[in-house]
A and B are shown apart, each in its own frame.
Chain A
Amino acid sequence: MDKGLQSEGNKLNVQDLIERNKQKTTFGQRIEKVIPWFLLLCAIISVLTTVGILFTLLRESIGFFSNVSIIDFYTGTSWSPWSGEYGVAPLIGGTLLITLIATVVAVPLGLMSAIFLSEYANDKVRRVIKPILEVLAGIPTVVYGYFALTFVTPMFQSIIPDLGIFNALSGGFVVGIMIIPMVASLSEDAMNSVPNALREGAYGLGATKLEVVYKVVLPAALSGIVASIVLAISRAIGETMIVTIAAGATPNLTFDPTESIQTMTAFIVQAATGDTTFGSTIYYSLYAVGMTLFVFTLGMNLLAQYISRKFREEY
């Protein structure tokens, strides 16, 4: 008890106490006011990151396009920056080829895995297999690259004898293996959220399990499945290390999977590891390619969000 209270003849006046408390701002109260602003500041950093990415890509790309015409960049069909040819088509072609191969591998395998896990496997089997499958998603891509170069390429070489060491086929194949868990677990989530009443209705009409899958579960979960595929494709487009290690460094506008190609991401790595001086045209070309890549993946991600929001079946 402080002196102020005693002077009033040891009488506690609650009203006074409250008033006094209101007037003085304690350390605690100040903290209470400052903390939300600090937290907001941290939350804004993620927004600043996005702004930073856009700023970086745009500013340096504009720098690039003042040296190389934007029309030549997007319509040219020859990419060899060290001799001044900047037609991005071979890099985009390489990226699309890898993505196509990966999709062909991952979509059937991922979807079938999802159907197995969601519809056929019992609880015990699912609880073992699903986490193991998800380990595939946690393996660093540089390890996949190593695997593609030292195992998958020799494996394909025993089937296709004149396959080169660097080729789109094994790169794309391993990217496909990497995105299987993405397709599988997102699709499985979508299938799991289909209510059992629908399945039981179909069983009641005499449908087999397979017919339930094809005619009830897949149509009902379609938006989630398509969204998972689009997301997986976006991952494949942005994948870097596997294609850098296994698919080669030859910008090559081809749809022959046995040839060596170069993707957008692989070029960025190649240029960043080489002797690229700051401010040179090649340095700026990193960002022009990076921006093209960013637009591709952002478009895919937005598409996935749109599909899962727009075509969602509510039960």
Chain B
Amino acid sequence: MLGQNEEGIKKRMEGRVLKNKIMAGLFFLATSVGLIFLVLLFYRVLTQGIGYLNWNYLTSGPAPYPEEAGIWVGMIGSIMLMAIVAIFSVIIGVASAIYLEEYASQNKFTEFIRVNISNLAGVPSIVFGLLGLTFFVYIFNFGYTLIAGGLTMALLILPVIVVASQEALRSVPIDLHQASLGMGATKWQTIARVILPAALPGILTGTIIALSRAIGETAPLIIVGAATAIYTLPDSLLAKYTAMPIQIYNWTARPQEEWQFVAGAGIIILLAVLLLMNSIAVLIRNKFQQRL
């Protein structure tokens, strides 16, 4: 009787252990699907684009023939766009974060700003494009220009920068804060000379990651009118412009296969820029993380 039972239990136990093993394998397999597609994507882009990636591609603008087309005008457009985005979003974003972390009292209004920022982060980027179209393009009358695109993108990544800066400010030890106040520094002196420098690495990391999101954004730029056929570099804030993702989209959408290769080459450059930005962010984080 006892022996039989033992055997039964053993059998059931074996089944349960086996099931566990099989599922463990499945869980690993599911995880690798994402990784496999990442590898496939990189492989595909590299093999398609590498043939068109040469000096001529890096130094010329859009052209009617695939052999003559290049990324230069788009790349400089993207860099100028990011400069505008960085200036506006960092000033406004960091200031908002300082207000929320250091000055705001715990009341309904502060809570409202917080909830608002977290909801803003969930608004699709194309809706920001519509906002930019109405306000910056038509009401402010900037037209389809660099400044209109830059301001739209700045608003788009603002929530990311605010949240990242808030986290960075919060992670500054309270001791530093109190020591500075104890030495007779005023509140603003404490913030400007003690807290901000201590939070700077975190803020920089967050900003670079936010900018790396912005540089690949395509949809809002299409809506606020980044053009495709721009052959010269923008010479002012009110100049028409194009950007890397816009060029890539335009080339991808053409039916002839050669243009897919041109788009592939553009994607290699775009991904290289992203990789560079993210590496800088990681470097900054690693270099300053242990201090404090």
Contact = CB atoms under 8 A, between A and B. Distances in A.
Given A52-B131, A138-B212, A43 B19 contact: no
A158 interface: no
A177 B34 contact: yes
Interface string A167-188: 0000000000100110010000
A42 B116 contact: no
Nearest to B27: A116
A239 B127 CA distance: 11
Interface in B237-272: 245, 248-249, 252-253, 260, 263-264, 267, 270-271
B230 interface: no
A44 B113 CA distance: 7
A53 B131 contact: yes
A298 B119 CA distance: 8
A241 B246 CA distance: 11
A273 B222 contact: yes
B41 A49 contact: no
Interface in B98-129: 98-100, 103-104, 112-113, 116-120, 122-129
Nearest to B138: A278
A302 B34 CA distance: 28
B113 A265 contact: no
Interface string A75-119: 000000000000000000000000000000000110011011100
B127 A290 contact: yes
Interface string A137-156: 01111111111011100000
A147 B124 contact: no
A149 B263 CA distance: 12
B34 A208 contact: no
B263 A146 contact: yes
Q: How large, as a class, is the contact surface on chain A?
A: 35 or more
Contacts of A244: 219, 249
B188 interface: yes
Q: Which of A32, A39, A129 has the most CB of B within 10 A?
A: A39
A129 B36 CA distance: 12
B216 interface: yes
Contact of A240 (B98, B134, B155, B219): B219
B55 interface: no
B122 A57 contact: no
A58 to B, nearest CB: 11
Contacts of A144: 41
Nearest to A302: B119
A135 B93 CA distance: 25
Interface residues of B, number: 83
A47 B31 contact: no
Nearest to B191: A35
Contacts of A116: 24, 27-28, 30-31
Interface stretch (A8-16, A216-224, A230-238): A230-238
Contacts of A31: 188
Given A115-B27, A290-B127, A42 B99 contact: yes
A40 interface: yes
A143 B45 contact: yes
A113 B45 contact: no
Contact of A245 (B113, B128, B225, B249): B249
Given A43-B95, A238-B124, A32 B249 contact: no
Given A28-B186, A45-B92, A57 B248 contact: no
Nearest to A146: B252
A101 B123 CA distance: 21
Given A140-B216, A208-B19, 11 more contacts: A32-B188, A43-B100, A113-B30, A129-B31, A132-B35, A138-B213, A149-B252, A150-B44, A177-B37, A210-B23, A298-B122
B16 interface: yes
A294 B127 contact: yes
A32 B187 contact: yes
A52 to B, nearest CB: 5
Contact of A112 (B27, B48, B96, B222): B27
A113 B27 contact: yes
Contacts of A282: none
Contacts of A273: 222
